[in-house]
Amino acid sequence: MRYTQEMTTVLSRTVLAEGVFAYTVSAPQMSRLAKPGQFVQILVEGKQLRRPISLAGLDAEAGTLTFIFEIRGDGTRRMAEAKVGDTLDLVGPLGNGFPLAESEAVVLIGGGIGNPPMLPLAQHYGEKATVISGFRNAASVILQDDFAATGAATVLCTDDGSAGFAGFTTQALEAHLATHPCDLICTCGPTPMMRGVAAVAARHGIRCFVSLEERMGCGFGACVGCAVDIREKDGAVARKKVCTDGPVFEGQEVCW
């Protein structure tokens, strides 16, 4: 794993929805190393532990990284106070990202704040991808124009039916697979959603990769705070660290 520590400058700060922020920072070194599905650890003033945030954009040519997060506690609240021109201390890129397979038809599924990591994948696959995005309601919807701009087909789902398809992403996935071929599924979001997506993929015999979200202490595998049970090829169950062995695993490997 190659990573670096970089003092980055905030180039833009955008409010995407209530409590959801997008930051683009200048990170020339890190942007050259980053792959879709990896994450960075951000130092927050007054906090001992860095906050892990997935990458929503990586541009090696421009030397920039974009990350999107939702305020969920004091640490992310303090992160959201950063302004354009401020300096953020980042370590990354960390973890193992999504494999960029030679696929003809890909479905990318994001749930809530699990949608941003799907954007670099949509940019990679373009018209070969269908993006299924799930949110609680219309007020929480983000990134739909960004996904459409990649050339991917988009399917919007909301739990309450206030925008797009009324229902869960797994229901939309089943409907899509009934009429469209697919050879790869990638997903990130709430654990119940990813468990359901992995089950649908298994029933259809489609390879599936999931990006697990666990609380992390160090991000380097030292604290073992993010360990999960993963079934190995011989059937044995092993404890794997989401920060270094993941965060991306094959869906059928995870002991849900």
Q: Are residues 64 and 139 in the same domain?
A: no
The pTM is what? 0.95
Q: Are residues 23 and 110 in the same domain?
A: no
Q: Are residues 202 and 120 in the same domain?
A: yes
Q: Are residues 132 and 187 in the same domain?
A: yes
Q: Are residues 84 and 115 in the same domain?
A: no
Q: Cα separation of 105 and 27, whole Å?
A: 32
Query: Is 12 within a domain?
Result: yes
Q: Please answer whether residues 108 and 122 qualify as being in contact, where contact means their C-beta atoms are separated by less than 8 angstroms.
A: yes
pLDDT in tens, 127-185: 999 999 999 999 999 999 999 999 999 999 999 999 999 999 999 999 999 999 999 99
Query: Is 100 within a domain?
Result: no
Query: Is 249 within a domain?
Result: no
**What is the CATH classification number for the domain harbouring 142?**
3.40.50.80
Query: Is 253 within a domain?
Result: no
Q: Are residues 17 and 70 in the same domain?
A: yes
Out of 94, 122, 137, a domain closes at: 94
Output the average pLDDT for the chain: 95
Q: Are residues 60 and 138 in the same domain?
A: no
Q: Are residues 113 and 197 in the same domain?
A: yes
Q: Please answer whether residues 214 and 255 qualify as being in contact, where contact means their C-beta atoms are separated by less than 8 angstroms.
A: no
Query: Is 197 within a domain?
Result: yes
pLDDT in tens, 45-71: 888 889 999 999 999 999 999 999 999
Mean local confidence (pLDDT), 189-209: 97
pLDDT at 76 over 90: yes
Query: Is 36 within a domain?
Result: yes
Query: Is 76 within a domain?
Result: yes
Tell me, what's the pLDDT at 46? 86
Q: Are residues 89 and 129 in the same domain?
A: no
The DSSP code sequence of the chain is ---EEEEEEEEEEEEEETTEEEEEEE-HHHHHH--TT-EEEE--TT-SSPEEEEEEEEETTTTEEEEEEE--SHHHHHHTT--TT-EEEEEEEESB-------SSEEEEEEGGGSTTHHHHHHHHGGGEEEEEEESSGGG---HHHHHHTT-EEEEEETTSSSSEES-HHHHHHHHHTTS--SEEEEES-HHHHHHHHHHHHHHT-EEEEE-----SSSSSSS-TTEEEEE-TTS-EEEEETTTT-BEEEGGGB--
Band the pLDDT of 225: cuts 50, 70, 90. Answer: confident
Query: Is 173 within a domain?
Result: yes
> Considering its fold, how many domains does the chain have in total?
2
Q: Are residues 113 and 207 in the same domain?
A: yes
Domain span holding position 174: 106-211
Q: Cα separation of 162 and 137, whole Å?
A: 6
**What is the CATH classification number for the domain harbouring 10?**
2.40.30.10
Band the pLDDT of 202: cuts 50, 70, 90. Answer: very high
